[in-house]
A and B are shown apart, each in its own frame.
Chain A
Amino acid sequence: AQKITQTQPGMFVQEKEAVTLDCTYDTSDPSYGLFWYKQPSSGEMIFLIYQGSYDQQNATEGRYSLNFQKARKSANLVISASQLGDSAMYFCAMRANAGGTSYGKLTFGQGTILTVHP
């Protein structure tokens, strides 16, 4: 079974500072992928970053980086130099990759609301 846990219902950060959003996961699949999405108040789901379970390096996409610690089963999102436009809900998700028994199941955490203060 897959499980994603985001323990921070809400986070606050000052503009231009860095912030880490926590995500832990549990799975029995040998190969999986970890995703982060942003959902602004307008409601759309915006893909931010992806990390494969066999990737050696932590993923980075601009100001976003994923701190992947496989042994600890954590996949934290780090946003550097926060901007006011980063205020949104953030979701962590896990997908069972091909070859496992979960056939691509994509499961989400409960989300973290990030508020960036000027």
Chain B
Amino acid sequence: DAGITQSPRHKVTETGTPVTLRCHQTENHRYMYWYRQDPGHGLRLIHYSYGVKDTDKGEVSDGYSVSRSKTEDFLLTLESATSSQTSVYFCAISAPTGGLAFFGQGTRLTVV
């Protein structure tokens, strides 16, 4: 299995609180991604990183921020969680070319 882990795997939080999800890789891949998956919407890209300190927005970036201070870690922060951010969050890693693109196990986040 690819060396990619997400933490926590499950979290329940209250509206208005900050939440940080962590993605850690041991593969030294350049690209890292955060997605959310909701019924009827497939996988939607929140933010991605193409190198240390290099990030860009995806299609659903409002309300989310990211940081990548080292190759192996990509953090997703919900500054002030809302119920609309209840979702399953996936992290993925990829090399710049070729078929290496793998996912973490997912984090189920519930905002009450």
Contact = CB atoms under 8 A, between A and B. Distances in A.
A71 B54 CA distance: 33
Contacts of B48: 103-106
Contact of B31 (A93, A104, A107): A104
B106 A33 contact: no
Interface string B22-46: 0000000011010100000111110
A68 to B, nearest CB: 13
A33 B99 contact: yes
Interface residues of B, number: 27
Interface string B67-106: 0000000000000000000001010101011110111011
B56 interface: yes
B64 interface: no
Contacts of A35: 99, 101
Interface of B is mostly: strand
Given A103-B56, A106-B31, A106-B94, A44 B101 contact: no
B41 A43 contact: no
Contact of A50 (B31, B45, B99, B106): B99
B56 A97 contact: no
A111 to B, nearest CB: 5
A106 B98 contact: no
Contacts of A95: 31, 94, 101
14 contacts: A31-B97, A45-B90, A45-B103, A47-B99, A52-B99, A93-B43, A95-B94, A103-B54, A106-B33, A106-B48, A106-B92, A106-B94, A108-B42, A108-B44
Interface of B: 30-31, 33, 35, 41-45, 48, 50, 54, 56, 58, 88, 90, 92, 94, 96-99, 101-103, 105-106
